[in-house]
Structure 1
Amino acid sequence: MSEEDILNPPRGMRDIVGVEAELHEYLADVFRETARRHGFKPIITPTVEYFKLFEMKSGEEIKRSMYVFQDKAGRTLALRPEVTASVVRAYLKEMRALPKPVRLYYVAQCFRYEEPQKARYREFWQGGLEVIGDPDINADASVAFAASSFLEAVGVKHYYVVGNVSTYRVLMDKMGVPGETQDLILHLIDKDRVGDALKVLGGVVTGGHVELFNKLLNSGLDEAPGILREFRLLGEGEQTTLEAELARTREFIDLLNQMGFHAVYEPRLVRGLAYYSGLIFEYKTSEGLTVSIGGGGRYDGLTRVYGGEYEYSTGLALGLDRIALLLSPEKAVPRRSLIVVSILEGVPLKAGYELVKRITSGGLAVIPYRARTVSKALGFANKQGADAVVILGRRELESGVVTVKDMHTGMQSTIEAGDTDALIKLLEKHGGRG
């Protein structure tokens, strides 16, 4: 490997620096704060998990795109491709005795070995919300509302596309379609390859059922119950259950629209994760990205896959990298006043850092800078884009004062070094915060 290659990150990975890094940090901070305000508590899970955790229920597409390796003891491990499976594992190990529902949030990086392209990276960041132990549609509304609140807070206009995967799962179960074949069919539908999906289905069921299945894929919520009856495969209880799922889907869409979030039904929405069990949804935007910026849904019973009791669960994840593409860092990230504290030659560093400590206590960003002359300090501050410079030279130190220069107006004033409140107020004024 050449020296030039060493300086480049692996394909599909990237360095995030400067204002872009500030934007990513800002999005993560706002997501965490929004989640806390909506009653979610943090969870941190390992970046590396046993491969089997994801192999059991994440779906073929995810399994094929995972980073999988063996450790020195021969155990098969993987970089997490998503976080919900890890959250469920941690819930079963650490939290199943907690009062339900358990409401959790995370900000985490994930990895998938996919072809890199715009808005699709091999390392990416997600902000997620999970509710475990609540069967009511209020749980779905709760995560959706919190996520929309976050998107509104950062200035991203969005709408919902809503579906329900349970109708297809139950029908394929009744038609005798094996589980792995079901996953493949739903994966093809998710990739908008409906023709290929119907061919696979036609290999295991009769033509009439394929035709009805295709009809269901093109139906609205009003037509779907009647199409389900045409299959003549469902018992009365199953028919009632699926009609209740469709009614739940309508209730969710109506609720979102009533709350001011535009939501539409899409019968072909199935999403790529095999553990979804019912209501599903995606976040879309008309502001320059054709791919979704997030999504989620019901994963009732995933706890049982990992050896726990059946739990009703729902959740979502937002793609923070994709959201960042929609925003201008300069406009989106609130600007914090930047102050340079110039510690001139002959002044002990201890005195300079005592001054820095007092200024940072007021929430201002401070760069301490040791300079021989005032002009060098001002030149440095100008290059850094500082709002003001606090000059501490031998004369100021002996007099117990500091000199403050506004880098925008050129105004200069002297203030007592020990009057922290007055100094911070003056600096906030120079920084545009007063």
Structure 2
Amino acid sequence: MSKEFLNPPRGIRDIVGLDAELYEYLMNEFRKTARFHGFKPVIPPTIEYSRLFEAKSGEEIKKSMYVFKDKAGRTLALRPEVTASIIRIYLSKYKGEVKPIRLYYIAQCFRYEEPQLGRYREFWQGGLEIIGDRDINSDISVSLTASDYLDRINCKHYYVVGNVAFHRTILSRANISIDKQDYILHLIDKNIIDKAIEFVKENTSEEYVDLFREVISKPIDKLRDLINDYKKILGDSVEILSSEIERTVTFIDVLKQLGYNTVYEPKLVRGLAYYTGLIYEYRAESRVLKTSIGGGGRYDNLTTVYGGSSEYSTGLALGLDRIALVLTSESNTIEKILTKQNREILIISLENTPLDYSYRVLKTLVKNNIESWIYRTNNISKGLSIANRKKIGLVIIIGEREFRENKVTIKNMESGEQSTIDT
């Protein structure tokens, strides 16, 4: 056999020795953190029908897929990403379960791209998904679970936040088709801004071109005034945009209140075509790797692409290969990293209380290795019903009184006993 077969194909690596131990550490910590935050494991298949990803993953993903025919002539693909698989699994296995559905995965993905620092043709992702929850709490829950993981492994990071609903709502109002919207956002993602603006100009009136140009350049605190200036042509889209501004501002404010550096980037769109609203990326505070180490956002109604009913969804993926690269470059040796190496509680957070207070309570529980997560509602009975149906034994209730007095109420779901204690 030729010596060339002793090495894997270009862009594919053997992960052995201390590198393998580092990857195992990163995966174990991810699993542990996800479980502590109330996420349950799912193991999607490596091979799927290629049309699963072609339906909505985006042009760049489609071009980079490993596609082949099996012996029965079916067109299959090595998965290039995992969210499409998660939605398929939800529709076939979880649709009748109590929502919200909270899932996590660790998976290999494959893309035929030019190999470079931190980019391989086979790569590992750790992902978190919440299906069936419209509230901003779901976005905060997945993002802060990932931040907790990055904090645990000492990967310093900050957030870059955007919202593709700003772009898509305006383009839809301008009667630009979804396919053309995908192309425009693809150009923005590649920082080909002039060409994107020119394409918008070719497909709509000057008013919408001016508005779109403003939206991809204005800071978040200027958007309300901008929307108001253009309300005549926006019509009922003003309400959608105002709601998305509120969601984005709340997301940024909660992250900042909890100590995470966060910046708003109006040109952030990310490369996947299924995003519908709030999006974000994690950037490592690293001298070596200046690109994203992960990211996510809302992909509401992706279920409809695969024949399901409309469903709210949000999720993210972290690039474990890039995280490994950051950690080894900052710590000098893998050995230094590797030497640093319950019971579930549901926190019912009433909508009239600040989310950062509930997340401070959550952080205390997770630090003590207690699996816990937050369900936000305006109805305690609904929260208790979810805890009961999910067979969660202990519940912490945080309402206006608890927040005002710096306390929490603990309820034993089996005995019905409850008491209020200081935090």
User: Structure 2-normalised TM-score?
Assistant: 0.77
Does structure 2 conserve the Cα–Cα contact (< 8 Å) formed by 1:164 and 1:280? yes
Shift, 1:307, TM fit: 1.0
Does structure 2 conserve the Cα–Cα contact (< 8 Å) formed by 1:160 and 1:283? yes
Shift, 1:104, TM fit: 0.2
Across the two proteins, how many residue pairs are aligned to each other?
A: 334
Aligned to 2:35: 36
How do residues 134-283 of structure 1 correspond to structure 2 at under 5 angstroms?
Answer: 134-231=133-230, 232-236=232-236, 238-283=237-282
Does structure 1 conserve the Cα–Cα contact (< 8 Å) formed by 2:189 and 2:268? yes
Aligned to 2:94: 95
Partner Cα separation in structure 1 for residue 327 and residue 173 of structure 2: 47
Q: Which one scores higher on RCO, CA 8 angstroms, separation ≥ 6?
A: 2
Partner Cα separation in structure 2 for residue 229 and residue 113 of structure 1: 45
How do residues 75-90 of structure 1 correspond to structure 2 at under 5 angstroms?
Answer: 75-90=74-89
Q: Which amino acid aligns with 1:195?
A: D
Does structure 1 conserve the Cα–Cα contact (< 8 Å) formed by 2:57 and 2:273? yes
Shift, 1:229, TM fit: 4.0
Shift, 1:227, TM fit: 2.5
Shift, 1:230, TM fit: 4.2
Shift, 1:207, TM fit: 3.5
Identity of aligned residues (%): 57
Partner Cα separation in structure 1 for residue 10 and residue 211 of structure 2: 44
Partner Cα separation in structure 2 for residue 172 and residue 265 of structure 1: 21
1:186-228 CA-to-partner distances (Å, cap 9, x unmatched) read 0111111111211222221233422321111110112223333
Query: SS state of the match for residue 292, structure 2?
Result: coil
Does structure 2 conserve the Cα–Cα contact (< 8 Å) formed by 1:164 and 1:269? yes
How do residues 314-353 of structure 1 correspond to structure 2 at under 5 angstroms?
Answer: 314-328=314-328, 329-334=334-339
Aligned to 1:68: 67
Shift, 1:335, TM fit: 7.8
Partner Cα separation in structure 1 for residue 46 and residue 170 of structure 2: 36
Q: Which amino acid aligns with 1:118?
A: L
Partner Cα separation in structure 2 for residue 267 and residue 38 of structure 1: 30
Shift, 1:321, TM fit: 0.2
Partner Cα separation in structure 1 for residue 197 and residue 120 of structure 2: 30
Q: Which amino acid aligns with 1:124?
A: F
Shift, 1:310, TM fit: 0.9
Partner Cα separation in structure 1 for residue 202 and residue 53 of structure 2: 28
Change (3 A) 1:296 1:335: closer
Which one has a bigger Cα radius of gyration?
1
Change (3 A) 1:335 1:245: closer
Which is worse superposed, 172-181 or 132-141?
Answer: 172-181
Partner Cα separation in structure 1 for residue 226 and residue 59 of structure 2: 29
Q: Which amino acid aligns with 1:111?
A: F
Does structure 2 conserve the Cα–Cα contact (< 8 Å) formed by 1:51 and 1:76? yes
Change (3 A) 1:103 1:199: same
Does structure 2 conserve the Cα–Cα contact (< 8 Å) formed by 1:160 and 1:263? yes
Partner Cα separation in structure 2 for residue 202 and residue 11 of structure 1: 42
Aligned to 1:292: 292
Shift, 1:184, TM fit: 1.0
Partner Cα separation in structure 1 for residue 108 and residue 252 of structure 2: 30
Q: Which amino acid aligns with 1:330?
A: E
Give unmatched runs, 5+ long, in structure 2.
329-333, 342-423
Partner Cα separation in structure 2 for residue 180 and residue 330 of structure 1: 49
Does structure 1 conserve the Cα–Cα contact (< 8 Å) formed by 2:298 and 2:314? yes
Aligned to 2:3: 4
Shift, 1:286, TM fit: 2.2
Does structure 2 conserve the Cα–Cα contact (< 8 Å) formed by 1:297 and 1:315? yes
User: Structure 1-normalised TM-score?
Assistant: 0.75
1:26-81 CA-to-partner distances (Å, cap 9, x unmatched) read 10010001000000000011100011111111111111111111111111111111
1:327-371 CA-to-partner distances (Å, cap 9, x unmatched) read 1311111389xxxxxxxxxxxxxxxxxxxxxxxxxxxxxxxxxxx
Does structure 2 conserve the Cα–Cα contact (< 8 Å) formed by 1:225 and 1:243? yes
Partner Cα separation in structure 1 for residue 210 and residue 238 of structure 2: 19
Partner Cα separation in structure 2 for residue 18 and residue 150 of structure 1: 23
Does structure 2 conserve the Cα–Cα contact (< 8 Å) formed by 1:175 and 1:233? no
Query: SS state of the match for residue 105, structure 1?
Result: strand
Partner Cα separation in structure 1 for residue 164 and residue 340 of structure 2: 44
1:263-290 CA-to-partner distances (Å, cap 9, x unmatched) read 1111111111111010000000121211
